[in-house]
Amino acid sequence: MIKVGVVGGTGYTGVELLRLLVMHPQVQLEAVTSRAEQGIPVSQLYPNLRGHTDLCFVEPTLEVLSRCDLVFFATPNGIAMQQVPQLLAEGVKVIDLAADFRLNDPAVWAQWYGMDHACSDLLAEAVYGLPEMNREQISGARLVANPGCYPTAVQLGFLPLLEAGLVDTGSLVADTKSGVSGAGRQAAVGSLLCETSESLKAYGVAGHRHQPEIEQGLTSIAQSSRHNSAIELTFVPHLTPMIRGIHATLYAGLSVQEADLQVLFEKRYEQEPFVDVMPEGSLPETRSVRGANVCRIAVYRPQGRNRVVVLSVIDNLVKGAAGQAVQNMNIMFGFVETAGLDMVAIMP
């Protein structure tokens, strides 16, 4: 049993994390922080947690958080890096669900996030928390950078192809769609029901923050497999009129003609508890992963031509955020990796 704190427990990712933690057999929830909601019962803001926790929101002080074995940061970008050095010095492990430790280069961080990094010396130590790629490193980490939602769906879809060196890495395409909860719990015109309902639109076409994270991860995969071709990714996200879900349609030109892509994906993920390679001809739906820590994947070679199409779906708040964070916690503390995550997706 470990003591766990959550910094930033009022957003969608935060409450999803709390939903998973209060049911986890190895977790004692020690503190949930929010400066704005300090003193208010957590279950008052989120009634779905009634009967599962009697904690009130508290201020995120070092005194409070240092009592924990692990602290999750479910905060906006730029917050975690202000407190992480002190927590690590106190022997507290950290999983950051924001982007503060995802990028290796502080100059790239500053370019995409518009601020200097407060503890760039820790970037080399932070482990990128995609278990299907970095499980061994995660197990020994004290600081884990939880991947973004788009990067999770995209990297899991491309990973087997890059490891096997089967595709042209200079012309990768990721056409992705996200539910509105990906924008966070905030009052913004673009997230209003009347603005998003019955509509579909692209955004971030000229450049999106998740692009350097995805390219960094794909480059790491290719290099670890000794396929050192440069990664060039066209990444276009879209906003869809649903609450949860990521659908990534991925395209790549094949450089090897005779590969059995279905077998390749099945073998690569046969031991992965949270990646489901669907039967040939399947069309994964976002609703099939709603509320579950699962990435469902289907792979196609349309008309037998020289192009592979991968369909990858996740729940952006679970495998794309809170569920993956709990999966990383399980690995870090030697728990069964599926502990607290054996949820069946919610349908309809």
Tell me which residues are annotated as active site.
149
Q: Which amino acid is at 219?
A: T
Q: How far is CA 330 from CA 17, 277, 323, 342, in A?
A: 14, 23, 11, 13
Q: How many other CB atoms are there within 10 angstroms of residue 279's CB atom?
A: 8
Q: Which residue has the tokens 């495998």?
A: 319
Nearest Cα neighbor of 42 from 6, 73, 74 is 6
Peptide bond into 348 cis (omega under 30): yes
Q: How many other CB atoms are there within 10 angstroms of residue 153's CB atom?
A: 34
Beta strands 143-145; 172-178: pairing state: unpaired
**Token representation of residue 204:** 């971030």
Q: Name the burial class of residue 284, with classes exposed (0-12), middle (13-18) and buried (19+) by CB atoms within 10 angstroms of its CB.
A: buried
- Residues 235, 205: Cα–Cα separation, whole Å: 7
